[in-house]
Amino acid sequence: MRPIYLDHHATTPVDPAVMEAMRPWFTEEFGNPESPHRFGWAARDAVEAAKAQLAELVGSEPGQVVFTGNATESIDLALTGLAERRGSGHFVTTNFEHPAVLRILERLEARGFGLTVVPVSPEGFVEPRKIAEALRDDTIACSVMAANNEVGTLQPLSEIAALCHDRGVLFHSDSCQAVGHVPLDMEAMGIDLLSLSGHKFYGPKGIGALVLRRQRPRIRLAPQLVGGGQQGGMRSGTVAVPLAVGIGEAARVAGEVMEAETQRLGELRDRLLARLRAGLDIVRVNGSLERRLAHNLSVVFAGVESEAILRELPWLGASAGSACSAHEQEASHVLRALGRTAEEAHATMRFGLGRGTTREEIDTVADTLIELVGRFRSRSPVHSSVRPD
């Protein structure tokens, strides 16, 4: 069986245009952007051009982009950087954020900072009212992801940001799964700090960014990497020029194809769900199908463990949960936050469609899953006791 990749939330292939843009910066143009000669100047100009491309995609300005090694580092720079700059205070987040946010805030809590974790609804949304109720006079920042990495639901960022700003609180968003897939405008939406990762939207691995919204007074962060003072002292270390060029080109391409791909992938996602429901008696969707990433589908195959399905289909790239926490055996904290039982969480599969996904691949996956899940259920005494929602 030809491999079929439906795990684009975990990572995406590098777009051919991105690869071509990066190629000369590995060999022909190899200067250090801090060097005071033509090789360094060329590299510096390339980095600045990449920042401009990325800033345009998310509605900020080139001077507000700080390149990092990955999104986890970007989140750490934002949250720990704010905490260490302030010295004390309180943070607000939700109970289905990525572990990169939750672990960092838990570490800050252990250091004496306050933390309030707001629950989300069974549909996968945080209510802005609950965020507002959690804010305190000493709240430094609120962190809410733009799109969930497992169930794809899109949060009401503008409304949350406005409530935060009314209280003088900064708003941070882990937007790794949203950048390049849905329109984002930091200025219009009021996002003060935005974290992202190149490999989530067809750019290279090994580079992320923290983007700040232009404002006065300027947001001040304590740097987490110190040394040579590159990038205005925000993140020391030589910028990886080829990767910066790559993430910039990925941003340019995403801006051009986003609208068409959203339409196409939404239709394929709906086709996959419709075929699964036509062939199987119980297929439950995790999270609302409204306000959701067009390329995301997370479903529960009641009575069947998703790990068993994946073992039977080595040619299928899909996920039983978030790839970043797949080593954990416990049920997904995201699915438990939605009210799913441990059994339902272990019966969940996540499909992430991408630019290379075809209708033929969707039909092949649907037909195979219908046959395999049906076979597993026929052998399972558990399935006979399962009832539809």
Cβ partners under 8 Å of residue 116, min gap 6: 90, 91, 92, 93, 134, 136
Considering only CA atoms, which of 357, 303, 262 is closest in space to residue 8? 357
Structure tokens at 183: 């329109």
- Measured CA distances, 293 to 203, 229, 263, 298, 334 (Å): 19, 38, 11, 11, 16
- For 14-73, the DSSP string reads PPHHHHHHHGGGTTTS---TTSSSHHHHHHHHHHHHHHHHHHHHHT--GGGEEEESSHHH
What tokens appear for 105 in the block?
């805030």
Residue 168, phi-psi category: left (phi > 0), alpha (psi -120 to 50), beta (remainder): left
Residue where the block lists tokens 């040619």: 315
* DSSP label of 152: -
Q: Hey, is 194 helix, strand or coil?
A: strand
Given 142, 164, 176, 324, which residue is catalytic?
324
Cβ–Cβ < 8 Å for 214, 61: yes
CA distances to 175, 263, 307 from 362, rounded to whole Å, are 27, 16, 20
How many angstroms separate the first and last alpha carbons of the chain? 34
- Determine the Cα–Cα distance for residues 47 and 41; give it in Å rounded to an integer: 10
From CA 369, how far away is CA 314, in angstroms rounded? Answer: 13
Angle at 85 between CA 200 and CA 134, to 5 degrees: 70
Count the helix, strand and coil residues of the chain and give each as a percent rounded to the nearest 5.
45, 15, 40
- Is 324 a residue of the active site? yes
Catalogue the active-site residues.
Answer: 324
